[in-house]
Amino acid sequence: MVQQERAARTRESLMRAAAEVFAEEGFVPATLGTISRRAGVSTGALHFHFENKQALARAVEAASLATLHRITRQAEEHHSSPLPRLAAAGNALLHALEQDIVVRAGFQLVGPAPWRTDPLDLRGAWQRWVETLLHTARRQGALAGGVSPAAAAAAVVAATVGFAALGRTDP
């Protein structure tokens, strides 16, 4: 049991180190050596847990997606109306983007790249959830007439993950 716990801690440490390096340097310039040094483990230990840099990136994205799902689920559990759900989830996501390097790096990794074989679509998942919520708000009469749920969802996504991305470059 102790060995399994240590392996889980090492895997988590590697994923967090990868997220830090990806956020600081970007995916392409990041090296496995830099990531393993940041995690305080050998490259052999890194390869025991992750086949390559792409597998590390996928783990970061998967952890980010799990956090996004937790955020949206909690908003659904605590708020019965769509617009308060949206406000709660948006606030929680902004907090996660600010405080959690894994979430931040996961969203930074989103987008087309030659190394991707099966990307997770974090922004798309967030946008679909927001748009579905806004369609519900419209059906309930809570969305102003003339407001397109798709356009409003795009604006919400830009105002959350888009501004967080811009903030990376703003000291």
Domains, the chain, ranges and CATH? Answer: 2-168 (1.10.357.10)
CB 119 within 8 A of CB 110: yes
Cβ atoms < 10 Å from Cβ of 17 = 22
Which are the contacts of 147, defined by CB distance < 8 A and separation ≥ 6? 134, 138
Q: What is the pTM of this model?
A: 0.88
Interval 70-109: pLDDT, tens = 999 999 999 999 999 999 999 999 999 989 999 999 988 8
Interval 114-163: pLDDT, tens = 666 666 788 889 999 999 999 999 999 999 989 999 999 999 998 888 76
C-alpha 20/C-alpha 35 separation (Å) is 8
